[in-house]
Amino acid sequence: MTPDRRYFVSEGRLCRCPNPLLDEVTRSRLHEDLVNAQSTAEAALRSGDAMALRTARARVRTAKVALGERGPVWWTDGAPDYSDQSVEQTPYADWYASSSG
């Protein structure tokens, strides 16, 4: 996790962390919604059901936005969003290079 706790690194790319201001009950419910939607999307992909896949992917996106992982950033200091960018191409590059990654 980055020092400001906004991102974690996956395969060299920054991924936004959930909004830490969400209460535990809400965060847990949204995480469960996300996991269920991802599972449904995987099943739809395996079965070749294009309509179910579109619906499941929309549910995944909705859950990620509600968690703060997508959509508007949850921090309020005006810092830009570096989600899905190579960590080496962001202001976190020096931190990443000096950490274990």
**82 Cβ partners below 8 Å, 6+ apart?**
7, 14, 90, 91, 92
Residues 43-99 pLDDT 10s: 999 999 999 999 999 999 999 999 999 999 999 999 999 999 999 999 999 999 998
Q: Is the pTM of this model over 0.85?
A: yes
Amino acid at 8: F
